[in-house]
Amino acid sequence: MTIPPVVHIRDLHKTYVVSEREGGVRAALASLVHRRKQEIKAVDGISFDLSPGEIVGFLGPNGAGKTTTLKMLSGLLHPTAGELAVLGFVPWKRDRDYLRQITLVMGQRNQLVWDIPPIDSFELNRAVYRVPAADYRRTLDELTQLLELAPLLKKPVRNLSLGERMKCEVAAALLHRPQVVFLDEPTIGLDVTMQRRIRAFIAEYTRRHGATVLLTSHYMADVEALCRRVIVIHHGRLLFDGDLADLVERFTAHKTIVLTLGDCGVDLSSYGEVVSCTDGDVTLRVPKAETARVTGRLLADFPVMDLTVEDPPIEEVIDRVFQQEVS
């Protein structure tokens, strides 16, 4: 028996109508009479399913349609066309039983009330989601412990640092123990340590509660640490859906060979593209298929002290994917 998917998307579309005009007052006046409208296809026919308990990375360059998709999934936006179901609900109907089971965290937005301590906002969320007092107490204790919130809960939100505020935002979004968690760049603008903290928390939280997570981030470290599967979209279309490892495999035609020769005077251009040479460490870029052969030749031809073969960094792979047009 197959388990029904938590998230089911088929041929989803969202079109925005945007008016545009040339710069200047004259054009501004002209646009009062006649307005040029343009249809922007923010999401242009994407399909995917998420299984229970999956943590999936949702990648794409700025403006690819990630946030629009997340907003449709959480019922904020009405899709233009297509099929969309989460936990068997139609999100835009905003059924209370649905909303109680999901959450959306946007790294660039905040829901905590600015002037007062987070604990007051937490109380408000408790009332909104009708969390029973005992459950609330237990969840709050758990989140406080996992995210080390204790010293933060009683300070006004405006006095918290970005990282501290983000921890509280994440906690506020999870007080009702949602089964499906949509995270839109939860680590944006945070320092490396805080990013790691949030990341570790998401991993621990999903391990404990088996939540399904769709995660958007521009930090590949987030994706590498949390997601086995990634979905890549670009210009509102699906570009890739599969294992992160396969993405790297499919979109990299090269491998990097780093060899320690202790000398930069040797000409290696006949072996591959010399990317750099510092302190006798030569970095070569070679086509993937020739890696083994080139490595063998290098080892035979030169007194190599050390040699490593590496995949290009994930950032480079992603950059390559983003720069491709949809075929």
Partner 1 sequence: MRGLGGIYVQQFKTTLASFIQYRAALVIWLIGHVLEPLIYLVVWSTVSRSSGGSVGGFTAAFAAALAAGGIIVYSFWLMLATLSFWFVRVENILQIFSSMYEAGRWPVSFYPRWLRFILTFLIPVAFATTVPAQALAGRLTWRTLAEAFALGAALLVMSRAFWRIGIRRYSSASS
- In this chain, which of 20, 83, 123, 204 binds partner 1, going by CB under 8 A? 123
- In this chain, which of 22, 28, 29, 108 binds partner 1, going by CB under 8 A? 108
Report the residue number, 169 or 184, with the smaller CB distance to partner 1.
184
The tokens describing 316, both together, are: 């480079």
End-to-end CA distance of the chain: 35
For residue 89, give the DSSP letter.
B
The reply on whether position 154 binds partner 1 by CB under 8 A is: no
Asked if 66 contacts 1 with a C-beta cutoff of 8 angstroms, the reply is no
Report the residue number, 126 or 199, with the smaller CB distance to partner 1.
126
The reply on whether position 277 binds partner 1 by CB under 8 A is: no
- In this chain, which of 77, 226, 239, 294 binds partner 1, going by CB under 8 A? 77
The number of beta carbons lying within 10 Å of the beta carbon of residue 45 is: 14
Report the residue number, 77 or 238, with the smaller CB distance to partner 1.
77
Tell me how far, at minimum, the Cβ of 104 lies from partner 1, in Å.
12
The reply on whether position 190 binds partner 1 by CB under 8 A is: no
Report the residue number, 34 or 96, with the smaller CB distance to partner 1.
96
- In this chain, which of 43, 55, 58, 126 binds partner 1, going by CB under 8 A? 126
The reply on whether position 93 binds partner 1 by CB under 8 A is: no
Task: Name 44's bridge partners.
Answer: 13
- Dihedral over alpha carbons 95, 96, 98, 100 (to 10 degrees): 160
Asked if 225 contacts 203 with a C-beta cutoff of 8 angstroms, the reply is yes
Stretch of 81-89, 125-133, 248-256, 270-278 lying at the interface with partner 1 (CB under 8 A): 125-133
C-alpha 126 chain-centroid distance: 27
Q: How many residues does the chain have?
A: 327
With CB under 8 A as the rule, give the number of residues binding partner 1: 24
- In this chain, which of 49, 95, 120, 290 binds partner 1, going by CB under 8 A? 120
Stretch of 111-119, 232-240, 267-275, 307-315 lying at the interface with partner 1 (CB under 8 A): 111-119
Q: What are phi and psi of 20, to 5 degrees?
A: -135, 155
What CA–CA distance (Å, rounded) separates 218 from 220?
6
Asked if 59 contacts 230 with a C-beta cutoff of 8 angstroms, the reply is yes
Contact map string, positions 42 to 61, toward partner 1, x by CB under 8 A: --------------------
The reply on whether position 74 binds partner 1 by CB under 8 A is: no
Asked if 46 contacts 69 with a C-beta cutoff of 8 angstroms, the reply is yes
The reply on whether position 297 binds partner 1 by CB under 8 A is: no
Pairing state between β 36-50 and 273-278: unpaired
Report the residue number, 114 or 310, with the smaller CB distance to partner 1.
114
The reply on whether position 121 binds partner 1 by CB under 8 A is: yes
| Closest C-alpha among 93, 51, 58 to residue 72 | 93
Pairing state between β 55-59 and 229-234: parallel
Tell me how far, at minimum, the Cβ of 257 lies from partner 1, in Å.
40
What CA–CA distance (Å, rounded) separates 110 from 65?
21
The reply on whether position 165 binds partner 1 by CB under 8 A is: no
The reply on whether position 86 binds partner 1 by CB under 8 A is: no
The reply on whether position 184 binds partner 1 by CB under 8 A is: yes
Phi-psi region of 297 (alpha: psi -120 to 50; beta: other; left: phi over 0): alpha
Report the residue number, 15 or 252, with the smaller CB distance to partner 1.
15
| Interface contacts to partner 1, rule CB under 8 A | 16, 67, 71, 76-78, 106, 108-109, 113-116, 120-121, 123-124, 126-128, 130, 156, 184-185
